[in-house]
Amino acid sequence: MENKEQLIHSMKATMELIEETTDLFYQQKQQVGLQNLENMIASIMVLLENVQKYQMSQHTIILEEIHFNSILVNAMDILAQKDYVLLADILTFELNGVIENSLRQLRVCADS
């Protein structure tokens, strides 16, 4: 199904952008990291759109949107505080974790 393939691609692309962005923050390259953050946010928007399309077409839930959104709100609060290492931790361990779990769940649903 095209939606499933788009969703998998969106998840992988978003995870890669999260990794690139967090690497920059861990390296104390805040300016470049902030520029990369814009691309990452755009990728998250595409991902959420693809998740919604897939969930509607398959009548299933693969992403806990409330949890996902709360992580994003927390990340934005940390960003406002300019704590880029903590932001990188949240993006790496929480946001990427939710996307990884959703990707795993998508693959399980596809296999059954």
The confidence band for 62, taking pLDDT boundaries of 50, 70 and 90, is confident
Are the C-beta atoms of 11 and 102 separated by less than 8 Å?
yes
Whether 110 shows a pLDDT value over 80: the answer reads: no
What is the Cα–Cα distance from 35 to 20, expressed in whole angstroms? Answer: 11
Nearest CA-CA partner of 7 in 58, 41, 73, 68:
58
Give pLDDT tens digits for 71-84.
999 999 999 999 99
Q: Where are the domains of the chain?
A: 2-111
What is the Cα–Cα distance from 5 to 106, expressed in whole angstroms? Answer: 10
Phi, psi torsion values for 81, nearest 5 degrees: -85, -5
User: Does pTM top 0.85 for this prediction?
Assistant: yes
Can you tell me the mean pLDDT for 53-58? Answer: 86
Give pLDDT tens digits for 7-35.
889 999 999 999 999 999 999 999 999 99
